[in-house]
Amino acid sequence: MRAGMISAAFVAALAMALSSCGSAPELSKEQIVLDNIFSRKSVRSFTEEPVTSQQIETLLKAGMAAPSGSNIQPWSFVVLQDKDRYMEIFGENNFNQRIFAQSAAIIVVCSDTTVVRAPRNDPQGTPVKMANGTWRDDAGAVTENILLAVEAMDLGAVWTACYPYPDRMNPVKASLGLPSEVVPYSVIALGHPSGDDQPKDKWKPEKVHYGKW
Ligand SMILES: Cc1cc2nc3c(=O)[nH]c(=O)nc-3n(C[C@H](O)[C@H](O)[C@H](O)COP(=O)(O)O)c2cc1C
């Protein structure tokens, strides 16, 4: 009986050892997330491999998971996958033509500068249209979320400024038919990286002040 128990334990231990043999060590959530943040870099050259609609949807979901002031979620997106179409806009108008000519898709992150809600001093009052003070911050959080998801999916992307430059915003707004209160904030060019871009080490302890500057 005792010998039987020992051999059963031995067999179980052996099975566990064999099942873990050859498999990669499990990474903690902290390691996975921090590795991804530290690996992100701007990618400006791409192969001709397309990006799938499913990948784009995952990126948009990551974008929409961003925080926003009062959870207003003022963002909207214009996805462009037809190169002829997006080169009409981004091949001109002070954008870096070379980046867009190579990219597989473009995501224009837009943000609504207005919000319809009850006045702060009268939460039960009639909702009115007012300025949304955090639309830029919300769009920035969205853009970074998308860039981090790009990194995690082994894709590459670069955040191209649209806001605050009128010579970029105005033609993009007109070409894409955005409503007057919606601003094209960033233009994310993405695809499969063709080069070997590396993340930059930006850690500078002298930038940190504890307690007081
Ligand atoms: C607000 C903002 C605007 C940017 N605009 C452009 C741009 O117009 N063109 C471009 O090539 N890169 C642009 N970038 C990417 C930066 O050049 C890049 O993030 C920076 O050089 C640091 O490199 P890294 O992203 O690899 O860490 C922008 C980045 C930010 C945050």
Cβ within 8 Å of residue 25, ≥6 positions away: none
Q: Mean of the pLDDT values across residues 79-98?
A: 92
Predicted local confidence at residue 93, as pLDDT: 79
Reduced to 3 DSSP states, what percent helix, strand and coil does the chain have, rounded to the nearest 5? Answer: 45, 20, 35
| Residue whose CA lies nearest to ligand 1 atom number 31 | 159
| Residue whose CA lies nearest to ligand 1 atom number 22 | 42
- The pairing of strands 105-112 and 114-117 is unpaired
102 CB-contact burial (10 Å; exposed 0-12 / middle 13-18 / buried 19+): middle
Can you tell me the distance from the alpha carbon of 96 to that of 101, in angstroms, rounded to the nearest whole number?
9
Backbone angles phi, psi at 120, to 5 degrees: -55, -40
Radius of gyration of the chain (CA): 24
Q: Mean of the pLDDT values across residues 148-153?
A: 98
Domains present along the chain, CATH in parentheses? 43-195 (3.40.109.10)
Percent of the chain's residues with pLDDT above 90: 83
Mutate to test the pocket of ligand 1, among 160, 202, 204 (most ligand atoms within 8 A of CB): 160
Q: Is 41 in the pocket of ligand 1 (CB under 6 A)?
A: yes
Cβ within 8 Å of residue 185, ≥6 positions away: 109, 110, 111, 135, 136, 139, 140, 143, 162, 163
More confident residue, 93 or 146: 146
Of the pLDDT bands very low, low, confident and very high (cuts 50, 70, 90), residue 94 is confident
Predicted local confidence at residue 15, as pLDDT: 52
pLDDT digits (tens, 9 = 90+) for 14-56: 455 545 556 778 999 999 999 999 999 999 999 999 999 999 9
The neighbour count for residue 211, using CB atoms within 10 Å, is 4
pTM of this prediction?
0.89
Q: Is 161 in the pocket of ligand 1 (CB under 6 A)?
A: yes
Of the pLDDT bands very low, low, confident and very high (cuts 50, 70, 90), residue 9 is low
Can you tell me the distance from the alpha carbon of 90 to that of 162, in angstroms, rounded to the nearest whole number?
11
Q: Mean of the pLDDT values across residues 96-121?
A: 95
Averaged pLDDT score across all residues of the chain: 92
Q: Mean of the pLDDT values across residues 88-112?
A: 94
